[in-house]
Chain A
Amino acid sequence: MVNLEMSNDVTVTLPRIQERIPTVVVDDAHVVYRVHKGSAGNTSPVAAVKRMVTRTKAPNVRVVHAVRGVTFTAYRGEAIGLIGTNGSGKSTLLRAIAGLLPVEQGAVYTQGQPSLLGVNAALLNDLPGERNVTLGCLAMGMSPAEVRRKLPEIIEFSGINQRGDFASLPMRTYSSGMSARLRFSIAAAKQHDVLLIDEALATGDKAFRKRSEQRVRELRESAGTVFLVSHQLSSVRDTCERTIWLESGEIRMDGPTAEVLTAYEAFTNGK
């Protein structure tokens, strides 16, 4: 919490927005995982029965305190980068904001329903890309007429048809880059109040990355808030003007991207 002043600086460096409307308020949030380690420890049937008889807990449940007391407020029109070394709690924080993980302590308040867009969000692999687009759009609450109108646009944006007609092939035939691009395109087709992007921009090729960065900028201008988790500092620099640096589940720094990235680079290089 060294950088309290810095977060106030943000309001000065940001382009002036008439009224600052908060879209995400995170108040001293703690997230705790209870991990089932699976194969670790004594997993023989005899040991399992013994545990049942003696009523001891399975030894393979471990508690991981992934986010420790994070507090910040995000406003409409902001794009916020979340950076930090592996395991610093970035993705966990995003999932807590999306309402997919309960907070142990503190609270997360959001406007509307934030959408989490991650590279590991699978659609139905046995179905063609087109059908997945339709399903995804309906699942985001679009009307069938709206879906029909947007379908060609989404396929075009994802660029999966660049190597022939892939849109009508099952998604299991896609390369990992192609399906990640399609997922991003589906999620980005809708106007979200809060869009949470987890490393998604890092997957596509250069041309797609350009397009998606452009799209993130559009989404932001039409009054949404975008969170971007990425290890690609360049894409954070290009899309976000505010950055939060998480380390071991705590905010290490929160401020203008340039300053935070400089400090972060110094930190990672010095390691």
Chain B
Amino acid sequence: MANLLADPDSGLTPAQLAARHGLRVAGERPSLGAYSGQLWRYRHFISAYSHAKLTASFSNARLGQLWQVLTPLTNAAVYYLIFGLVLEQDRGMDNFIAYLTTGLFIFNFTQTSVHQGTQAISGNLGLIRALHFPRAALPLAITATQFQQLLGSIVVLVAIVTATGEPITLMWLMLMPAVLLQTIFNAGLTMVMARLGAKATDLKQVMPFVLRAWMYGSGVLYSVNLFAENLPGWATAVVQFNPMLVYIELARISLLENTHLLNDSLPLTWLIALGWAVVAGLGGYLYFWRGEQEYGRG
């Protein structure tokens, strides 16, 4: 076989020849540091791609970008009709409309990220097979797109909250770090879902049910006090560590005046929020990176 290698390097095996000229094994996974560096160099791609996705998502609708605001509004209206007017979940609550919309918008941010994350790899196979770039750019772009959507929702949310009589206080500033932590949490979770969704294509069918169950466990549609009233003690203790409940509660306590935390401790709630952001963010990134050489194959 060695004589297939022509003159200047005759006598070398292919592997030796490759090593001598510094060739690398095709499709090898870069080290974590090198990967992060690559990802940083691709930041312009991430922002351009997320922006492009945002424009493309409403390109077929006649009202176009207006849906960015109309979708969450309509959603809130439907849930208010059912849970507020029909089921009367607003009993004993000061401002159910603001309470409901805050929960919905914050939950929706994670829900859409996770749902689209399952298709970050499997839905972009064309791009992945044609061009080489750190694949983490795709789930990160999804998070960035959803973040831009959230900013639109927050404008609507602030309008609803003030219109329903909440005072503007310094507490509103707390919304920023809360949303920031949630974004990191989402990015990590989206990367996990992207790797899972690349292999297990059935995941797309299962996710709506998982997300629905998660929404009911996050106190989006009814008062969180119901958990403490109706669940056994240990279950309430578990529920208070639910990351979505924590992020929603933090958003509510910053915007709404009379809200109570499930665990009655603001520092503890922040600690849980921070913990989830670190665990999901770092863990998700590591998990996604470890699968880097598999994406687009098969």
Contacts and interface: CB of A to CB of B under 8 A. Distances in A.
Contact of A143 (B6, B44, B133, B298): B44
A21 interface: yes
A139 B127 contact: yes
A131 B52 contact: yes
A20 B131 contact: no
Contacts of A28: 1, 14
Contacts of B48: 134-135, 138
A60 interface: no
B4 A4 contact: yes
B15 A139 contact: no
A116 B127 CA distance: 11
B297 A101 contact: yes
Given A99-B28, A127-B55, A7 B6 contact: yes
B270 interface: no
B141 to A, nearest CB: 10
A137 B1 CA distance: 39
Contacts, number: 152
A22 B49 CA distance: 35
Interface in B4-34: 4-9, 13-15, 17-18, 21-28
B132 A113 contact: yes
Interface residues of B, number: 45
B52 A116 contact: no
Interface of B: 1, 3-9, 13-15, 17-18, 21-28, 41-42, 44-45, 48-49, 52-53, 55-56, 59-60, 126-127, 129-133, 137, 293, 296-298
27 contacts: A4-B4, A20-B7, A21-B21, A25-B17, A25-B18, A34-B298, A73-B4, A73-B5, A97-B26, A98-B26, A102-B297, A107-B15, A107-B25, A110-B24, A121-B126, A122-B126, A124-B52, A124-B56, A126-B56, A127-B56, A135-B45, A135-B48, A138-B42, A138-B48, A139-B42, A140-B131, A187-B130
